[in-house]
């Protein structure tokens, strides 16, 4: 006869297995449902070649080679927003210039400069910008000093979390405002610092959500997305 402890272990093992098997079955089903719903709502958004608008005009014509460009992504993002897609992310790779900064960075800035501006103009022209919060940024900044061997033709910069820049537009954000300032070497913040949790609180505020009242279930706890430290909405940038 098995001992009671063995019985409990057996039941727990079987229950856990069934739980994970249930999750494994549910995830593909939910993704299929979401994909079908998305296809039903805005499948024609992906006909970027037929798109018109400043994002395309200023990013160049959409030949087959340019369909994976940031300009095409901006057109696709605008078309998805027009079809009430709630969250859209544009991702541009390859900003980790530990070397060859002079060769790579100008090309990438050229990729994103006009399309990013044009996306905002497209949304504004169509009356969508007031209800759409555009957030432009990355993971962290770069050091103001060289990484690796310094030559005129080839040098890089390392990761730098002490200060970096993001911009926001639309969705309750005031235009033409610069908030915060670094020292003369762009190494530390000397005025109006914004912590990541402050940025998240501000984003939630623009979405009509009080970050102090919002929590999610995580590992048996009710967790606030902005954490437990003092957090503030960055009101000077709000419209």
Selected residue with higher pLDDT from 64 and 50: 50
Number of domains present in the structure of the chain: 1
Query: pTM of the prediction?
Result: 0.76
Task: For residue 187, give its domain range.
Answer: 4-237
Percentage of residues of the chain with pLDDT beyond 70: 75
3-state secondary structure the chain: CCCHHHHHHHHHHHHHHHHHHHHHHHHHHHHHHHHHHHHHHHHHHHCHHHCCCHHHHHHCCCCHHHCCCHHHHHHHHHHHHHCCCCCCCCCCCCCCCCCCHHHHHHHHHHHHHHHHHHHHHHHHHCCCHHHCEEEECCCCEECCCCECCCCCCCCECCEECCCCCCEEEECCECCCCCCCEECCCCCCEEECCCCHHHHHHHHHHHCCCCCCCCEEEECCEEEECCCCCCCCCCHHHEC
CB neighbour list of residue 211: distance below 8 Å, 6 or more residues apart: 200, 201, 204, 205, 224, 225, 226, 231, 233
Q: How confident is the model at residue 1 (pLDDT cuts 50, 70, 90)?
A: very low
Q: How confident is the model at residue 11 (pLDDT cuts 50, 70, 90)?
A: very low
Average pLDDT of span 134-152: 89
């Amino acid at each position: 006869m098995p001992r009671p402890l063995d019985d409990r272990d057996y039941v727990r093992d079987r229950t856990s297995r069934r739980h994970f098997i249930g999750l494994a079955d549910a995830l593909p089903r939910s993704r299929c449902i979401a994909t079908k719903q998305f296809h039903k709502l805005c499948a024609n958004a992906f006909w970027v070649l037929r798109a018109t608008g400043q994002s395309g005009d200023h990013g160049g014509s959409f030949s087959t080679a340019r369909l994976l460009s940031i300009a095409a992504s901006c057109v696709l993002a605008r078309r998805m927003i027009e079809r009430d897609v709630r969250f859209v992310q544009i991702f541009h790779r390859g900003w980790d210039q530990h070397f060859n900064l002079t060769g790579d960075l100008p090309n990438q800035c050229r990729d994103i400069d006009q399309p990013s501006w044009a996306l905002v103009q497209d949304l504004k022209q169509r009356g969508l910008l007031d209800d759409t919060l555009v957030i432009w940024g990355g993971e962290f900044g770069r050091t103001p000093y060289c990484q690796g061997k310094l030559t005129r033709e080839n040098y890089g910069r390392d990761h730098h979390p002490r200060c970096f820049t993001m911009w926001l537009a639309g969705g309750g954000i005031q235009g033409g405002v610069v908030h915060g300032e670094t020292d003369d070497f762009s190494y530390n913040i000397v005025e109006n610092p914004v912590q990541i949790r402050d940025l998240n609180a501000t984003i939630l505020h623009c979405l009509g959500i009080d970050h102090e009242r919002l929590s999610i279930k995580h590992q048996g706890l009710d967790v606030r997305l902005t954490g437990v430290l003092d957090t503030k909405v960055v009101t000077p940038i709000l419209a």
